[in-house]
Amino acid sequence: MAGRNFLFVPGPSNVPDRIQRAMLVAMQDHRSAAFPELSRACLTGLQRLFRTENGVPMIFPSSGTGCWEAALTNCLSPGDRVLAARFGQFSHLWIDMCQRLGFEVEILEEEWGTGASAERYLTALRADREHRIKAVLVCQNETATGVTSDVAAIRAALDDARHPALLFVDSVSALASIDFRMDAWGVDVCVSGSQKGLMLPAGLGITCVSVRALEAAKSARSRRCYFDYADMAQAARTGYFPYTPSIPLLCGLRESLAMLFEEGLEHVFARHQYLAAGVRAAVREGWGLELCARDPKWYSDTVTAVMLPPGVDGARVIAHAFRRYNLALGAGLSKVAGKLFRIGHLGDLNELMLLGAIAGAEMAMRDAGVQVRPGSGVAAASECWRALPAPAGLGG
């Protein structure tokens, strides 16, 4: 098919040409005297990205799922109780992992399209007078539904309850796109991956671990090997890995971090907020459709989940968009399978790239029988952006 594939799933995201060039390197010895320069540049940059002074960044050759498992098995013992909200497919999968690894999970069920309720966390923590809950889990950005939760409010709930539980945060589809503050929010383990806001191919599990979590890992009795924090931290002090890392991905990560800091993190977050506003305008004002996110306080700046009219098969819209218009859209998962499609708008993006995705989605919906007015989504998004001041990093 002529032209480029339009990749607008909420990860993997587009890899900028600059990062692709940085990854075109000859293989080198990962035990050489030169290697620590690369690894330390990545780890130092990640510490800055996580906004932490004392947290310890770690890079696992895995996906974010591997870092989920690392957080659980390093910091907890078999049978430990954890508290987690379930409000989408990825929060569900983390809970499922907890259960399969032998931890007891107190689940706060939420309507899909809403996020983690700080009030319900507070109630559960206050009720746990014996402090049986050893960790609190929350997804900062639920990719399946386009919902962002308030991590700072979850930390406030822990503080208000005077509860000593560790705070684990999944920031896979938020880090480097939506504000994250490890120290200010008292996060003990943050989990992320390379293929979203960091604009890299999949393959690196990116995590950061607090001093308190590392201390907990010393006495935790869960078995771990590949994902052992102690092995990783010990190797990192010398600038090496306990096993073979991906040299091209590390070179790409170093370049990604350089790009983010050149733009400025606050400008990166503002750009994502600005672009997301245009997508939401296309959906609601242009197409007259609803978002999966139930309220503006939940709106995600990295992915928008678009609810389709009853009787319209979302899988058909997505398949047609790919086959006919070379446009990749995200599918509905689990409870929302077939009911929606998702537009990912994170990483290396500008207005005109997103207008292409909106136009393609609009054509695919019309072909599937959805009665949206031709050009309405593009018009609404473009007028939204024209009315807003363009953030630094966009335009000349």
Nearest to 342 by CA among 333, 351, 350, 334: 333
Determine the Cα–Cα distance for residues 13 and 151; give it in Å rounded to an integer. Answer: 24
Task: List CB contacts of 331: < 8 A, sequence separation 6 or more.
Answer: 314, 315, 318, 337, 341, 342
- How many CB atoms neighbour CB 361 within 10 A? 28
For residues 66 and 87, the answer to whether their CB atoms sit within 8 Å is no
CA distance 65 to 139: 13
Q: Burial letters for 144-155: b for 16+ Cβ neighbours within 10 Å, e otherwise?
A: bbbbbbbbebbb
pLDDT at 210: 98
DSSP letter for each residue of 278-311? HHHHIIIIIS---BSS-SGGGB-SSEEEEEPPTT
Task: Reply yes or no on whether the pLDDT at 132 is more than 80.
Answer: yes
The model's pLDDT over 58-107, given as tens digits with 9 standing for 90+, comes to: 999 999 999 999 999 999 999 999 999 999 999 999 999 999 999 999 99
Say what the pLDDT of residue 2 is. Answer: 82
What is the structure's pLDDT at 1? 66
Kindly state the tokens that stand for 88: 């989408």
pLDDT-derived band of residue 20, with 50, 70 and 90 as boundaries?
very high
**% of the chain surpassing 90 pLDDT:** 97
Which residue is listed with tokens 């790009």? 259
Residue 393 has pLDDT above 90, yes or no: no
Question: Is the link from the previous residue into 12 a cis peptide, with omega within 30 of 0?
Answer: yes
Total residues found in the chain within this entry: 396
Domains observed in the chain: 18-261 (3.40.640.10), 264-387 (3.90.1150.10)
Strand-pair category, 340-344 with 327-331: antiparallel
Percentages (nearest 5) of helix, strand, coil residues in the chain:
45, 15, 40
Averaged pLDDT for residues 195-210? 98
Contact 380, 355 (CB under 8 A): no
The answer to whether 165 and 134 are in contact (CB under 8 A) is yes
The model's confidence at residue 145, banded by pLDDT at 50, 70 and 90, is very high
Q: How far apart are CA 190 and CA 174, in angstroms?
A: 11
Q: Place 394 in a pLDDT band, splitting at 50, 70 and 90.
A: confident
Q: Which residue has the tokens 């959906």?
A: 283
Predicted local confidence at residue 392, as pLDDT: 84
Strand 327-331, strand 6-8: pairing: parallel
Residue range 337-379, pLDDT digits in tens: 999 999 999 999 999 999 999 999 999 999 999 999 999 999 9
396 pLDDT more than 60: no
Q: Does the pTM of the predicted model rise above 0.95?
A: yes
Tell the residue number behind the tokens 């700046």, with chain if given: 301
Could you give the CA distance from residue 295 to residue 307 in angstroms, rounded to a whole number? 14
In one-letter notation, the amino acid at residue 56 is V
DSSP output for 318-335: HHHHHHHH-EEEEEP-GG
* Contact in structure between 305 and 342 (CB atoms under 8 Å): yes
User: Is the Cβ–Cβ distance between 378 and 362 less than 8 Å?
Assistant: yes
User: What is the rounded average pLDDT of the residues 319-330?
Assistant: 98
Of 28, 27, 26, 35, nearest to 240 (Cα)? 35
- Place 270 in a pLDDT band, splitting at 50, 70 and 90: very high
Nearest Cα neighbor of 294 from 171, 138, 92, 111 is 111
Runs of H (alpha helix) within 82-150: 89-100, 118-127
